[in-house]
Chains A and B, each alone.
Chain A
Amino acid sequence: MLKGEKIRKSFGDIEILHGIDIQVEPGTITTIIGPSGSGKSMLLRSLALLDPPTSGTVFIDEQAITFPRNTPIPTQFAWPRITVVFQQLFLWPHLTIRQNAVLPLRSRGILSPEDRVDQIIKEFGISSLADRFPNEVSLGQRQLGAIARALALQPRYLLLDEITSALDIEYVAMILDRLKSLRNRGVGLLLVSHLIDFARHSADQIVFLDNGTLVEQGPPTILDNPKSSRLERFLGLVLGAR
């Protein structure tokens, strides 16, 4: 399992995350919701060890990584067991969609990376775009390319930061479908998302953050019966704005 225990993150005197406990099991979808600036993306980056926590422990399966620490972070163990699809995707712009997915596999010494990538690209229905550069395809297609790059690495945990925020509804539906099939294959998914309906119908666990604090977490039913007034107010605003 991927687990964060008492995760705190500070920049100087300002604490962004105030001791958060979170757990993502393989084969489940956990959705983090919350208002802008609540620390959702920072929590995701902390769990991914990209912005290591100031204090707390990140458990990646059997490995516990405690902060603060004097020894280097065992990232070779963490990545790509955990991998991230960023909001802005960050596909390498000088490489085609296919090359973007092949390069990390080649770097990890995987034999015939092209076969594995081609299979995923075919599955995602983007074979005809695979030899184009990222800026030559639409945002939704780039999104699929970025997810394909991550999946080619066969991660155990996939962390996705607001990846559907700029997509039209058709692509959102397609991508969310892919995510559900990944869950069924045993991948643990942690999504930062504003898609309350998706969270309600597809997530196994909802985590509501506000101001760097975990206010409420539980099954999707918490969206219908929030215990905290803060979540209730947030849902009222989000659902009322639609």
Chain B
Amino acid sequence: MNFLQIIQQYSQPMLGGLLVTLKLCAVVWISGIVIGSTLGTLGASFRRSVGGPSKVISVILAGMPVLVFLFWMHYPLQAFLKVVVDPFLTAALTLSIINIFLVADQVRNAITDFPRQYLDAARVCGMKANDTLFHIQLPLLLRQLIPGLLLIQITVFQMTIFASMISVDEIFRVAQRVNSLIYRPVEIYTLLAFFFIAVCVPLNLFAHWLRVRFTRDHSER
């Protein structure tokens, strides 16, 4: 069986797996960006009550392998709470938590490290607060944040394959299942590699382009 025959014969389950991966990814990306940015912004404004705890959680999460955290959410936590949650939801929740705190960290740091002097300059120029926010603070923050955030989203996308470990029928698990039926690991895992490359490389290039285009060297000589 060659690549084409595998694709032809197993296109339905493969597309199903792809769809699950993309759904998982969409949930994790959206929740991470929306909630993470909000948490990061709040963390920069309320450093003790929000920023501090958020940072502590980030440090704890950074010290725990993703797979361990996923398994902990899937088995011990559910056993402790005496609930059974759909593995897709468990994976989505776990990866979302990771993404939220990664994004929050980036956003919080970018805001707290933002040079206040640029805002002082806007104040003494008599600029309106809205104009300062939209024409000075946000453009400078976004230029700094977007490439890093994109790289985080690529990493999180790659993490979705861990969901296969708790029986989520995403693309990696489907590939494993197909392989167990026909045992063509070279073709199947090469196809899988192409899929991830096809998604990740353009995103990486996009992040690189953004970095080059918008985060040009501002340093004064």
Question: Could you list which residues of chain A lie within 8 angstroms of chain B, going by C-beta atoms?
Answer: 48, 50, 75-76, 79-80, 82-84, 86, 88, 90-94, 103-104, 106-108, 133-135, 139, 142, 149-150, 153
Contacts and interface: CB of A to CB of B under 8 A. Distances in A.
A90 B220 contact: no
B117 A104 contact: no
B140 interface: yes
B208 interface: no
B185 interface: no
Interface in B102-160: 115, 117-118, 120-128, 131-132, 135-136, 139-140, 143
B221 interface: yes
B140 A82 contact: no
B121 A153 contact: no
A92 B136 contact: yes
Contacts of B219: 135
B123 A107 contact: no
A108 B121 contact: no
The 9 A-B pairs of least Cβ separation, nearest first, read A104-B125, A93-B218, A80-B126, A107-B131, A79-B126, A90-B121, A107-B127, A90-B117, A84-B124
Given A79-B126, A86-B120, A90-B118, 9 more contacts: A50-B124, A76-B126, A82-B124, A83-B124, A103-B135, A104-B125, A108-B126, A108-B128, A139-B220
A75 B125 contact: no
Given A50-B120, A92-B140, A94-B139, A153 B125 contact: yes
A139 B219 CA distance: 12
B68 to A, nearest CB: 42
A135 B221 contact: yes
Interface of B: 115, 117-118, 120-128, 131-132, 135-136, 139-140, 143, 216-221
B220 A134 contact: yes
A108 B123 contact: no
A133 B218 CA distance: 8
B120 A103 contact: no
A103 B218 contact: no
11 contacts: A50-B123, A82-B124, A88-B117, A92-B136, A103-B136, A104-B122, A104-B127, A107-B135, A139-B220, A142-B220, A153-B125
Contact of A79 (B125, B216, B218): B125
A111 B51 CA distance: 42
A92 B217 CA distance: 13
Contacts of B126: 76, 79-80, 83, 104, 107-108, 153
A80 B217 CA distance: 30
A29 B138 CA distance: 37
Contacts of B121: 84, 86, 90-92
A75 B118 CA distance: 17
Contacts of B143: 94
A107 B136 CA distance: 12
Contacts of B136: 92, 103
B215 to A, nearest CB: 10
Contacts of B221: 135
Contacts of A86: 117, 120-121
Nearest to B121: A90
B94 to A, nearest CB: 37
